[in-house]
């Protein structure tokens, strides 16, 4: 992961880069950012830059002051998340495969896969679904703390920094905390701890006091625009659509960018779903549910997220807050018309149904039944209004 591959965070990237160039890497850092932010990507880019043997230093007028080369032996290992000095700890629980004393090490291949598949935008539900522990709470337990001590006791691969990235440190089990705190207080030489968290309120004060806090700010629309322009050569209305769809969270764009940058596939699906529900066309509703059940859980979840955004925009439109309606073209046209049917009287109810569908899909409930049920309930809401 190169810094330039990550959207936004220009100042933060340069601050991290400067800490490496000036040889002032603080040994324990806490990256705090919302779900769907670039914490994982930034922590890996940071570690890769520290280890890169051919750092690229840019001219002063460049947005970034430096970056990894992306092609030295260290960078190549980093790009496969397989560098021997890069270590990860994350919440786990017992599964069919690992039925006692689960540790992060036992899930490393799933972890690498999940990171690469999600483009480093993994969230906790997605991770639990990946390893099949949806109904349990994962934790970072004593066995993992012992593993950290063992790993850091070994000498590093090429005499370089050893980097320990601990994802979702708020899931640290109280029994494991003392061991980790001791390490943070008296770290072995040339060790970097990067702790990642979504919620500082859930963190132990003792962790906060032992780490340097790095706060990730939400990405601005202009940063997303700039990134899409530079990396995907998008312009005009297409770029407007994408910025609207991201709605401040770049994670929303990942499925679209990884497929094609043409049109937004969720728009036509969602529009059709709503029209069928409005017309109470049960036969076509069933075949639509069937069709959508085959696009994959991640896509269905994105579709529900998209629907939630449209409902919100309809509500803004209905309330006369048109400056909050971030939309253009056919989508805006749809929102204007659709706001006659989705408005103050039912937006909350419809949003709750879409949220519930999203939840059921992430919990592996049958997709076709979930979608049909959601359509029927929305249809009922529309019908009450007529």
Query: In this structure, how many other beta carbons lie within 10 angstroms of the beta carbon of residue 62?
Result: 12
Cα separation, 195 vs 202, whole angstroms: 13
User: CA nearest 373: which of 384, 365, 362?
Assistant: 365
User: CA nearest 58: which of 24, 25, 10?
Assistant: 10
Q: Pick between residue 45 and residue 166 the one whose CB is nearest to Zn ion.
A: 45
- The CB-of-66 to Zn ion minimum distance in angstroms stands at 11
86-89 β-sheet, strand order: 86-89, 162-167, 191-197, 28-32, 212-215
Query: Can you read off the two tokens belonging to residue 27?
Result: 């040994």
Q: Pick between residue 54 and residue 235 the one whose CB is nearest to Zn ion.
A: 54
- The CB-of-71 to Zn ion minimum distance in angstroms stands at 6
Q: Pick between residue 1 and residue 311 the one whose CB is nearest to Zn ion.
A: 1
- The CB-of-52 to Zn ion minimum distance in angstroms stands at 3
- The CB-of-75 to Zn ion minimum distance in angstroms stands at 3
Cα separation, 60 vs 65, whole angstroms: 7
Interface with Zn ion (CB under 5 A): 52, 54, 68-69, 72, 75
Cα separation, 341 vs 385, whole angstroms: 8
- The CB-of-44 to Zn ion minimum distance in angstroms stands at 13
Q: Pick between residue 52 and residue 81 the one whose CB is nearest to Zn ion.
A: 52
Tokens 């990134």 label which residue? 227
Q: Pick between residue 77 and residue 225 the one whose CB is nearest to Zn ion.
A: 77
Beta bridge partners of 194: 29, 165
Q: Pick between residue 2 and residue 28 the one whose CB is nearest to Zn ion.
A: 2
- The CB-of-133 to Zn ion minimum distance in angstroms stands at 36
Cα separation, 207 vs 205, whole angstroms: 5
């Amino acid at each position: 992961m190169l810094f330039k591959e990550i959207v936004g965070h220009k100042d933060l990237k340069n601050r991290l880069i400067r800490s490496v160039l000036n040889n002032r890497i603080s040994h324990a850092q806490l990256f705090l950012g919302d779900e769907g932010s670039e914490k994982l990507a930034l922590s890996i880019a940071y570690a890769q830059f520290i280890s890169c043997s051919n750092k690229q230093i840019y001219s002063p007028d460049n947005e970034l002051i430096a970056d990894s080369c992306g092609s030295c032996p260290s960078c190549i290992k980093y790009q496969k998340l397989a560098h021997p000095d890069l270590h990860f700890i994350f919440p786990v629980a017992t599964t069919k495969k690992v039925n006692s004393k689960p540790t992060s090490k036992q899930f490393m291949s799933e972890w690498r896969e999940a990171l690469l598949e999600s483009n480093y935008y993994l969230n906790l539900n997605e991770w639990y679904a990946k390893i099949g522990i949806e109904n349990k709470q994962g934790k970072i337990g004593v066995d993992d703390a012992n593993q950290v001590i063992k790993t850091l006791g070994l000498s590093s691969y090429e005499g370089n920094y050893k980097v320990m990235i601990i994802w979702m440190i708020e899931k640290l089990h109280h029994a494991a905390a003392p061991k980790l705190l001791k390490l943070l207080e008296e770290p072995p030489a040339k060790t970097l701890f990067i702790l990642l968290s979504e919620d500082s309120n859930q963190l132990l004060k003792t962790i906060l006091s032992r780490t340097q806090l790095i706060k990730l700010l939400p990405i601005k629309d202009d940063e997303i625009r700039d990134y899409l322009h530079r990396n995907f050569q998008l312009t005009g209305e297409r770029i407007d659509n994408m910025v609207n769809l991201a709605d401040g969270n770049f994670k929303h764009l990942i499925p679209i960018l990884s497929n094609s940058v043409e049109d937004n596939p969720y728009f036509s699906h969602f529009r059709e779903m709503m029209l069928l529900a409005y017309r109470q066309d049960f036969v076509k509703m069933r075949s639509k549910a069937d069709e959508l059940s085959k696009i994959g859980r991640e896509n269905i979840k994105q579709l529900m997220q998209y629907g939630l955004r449209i409902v919100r925009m309809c509500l803004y439109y209905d309330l006369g807050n048109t400056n909050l309606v971030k939309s253009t073209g056919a989508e805006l046209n749809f929102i204007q018309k659709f706001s006659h049917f989705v408005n103050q009287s039912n937006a909350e109810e419809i949003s709750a149904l879409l949220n519930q569908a999203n939840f059921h899909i992430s919990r592996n409930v049958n997709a076709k039944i979930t979608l049909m049920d959601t359509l029927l309930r929305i249809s009922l809401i529309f019908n009450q209004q007529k």
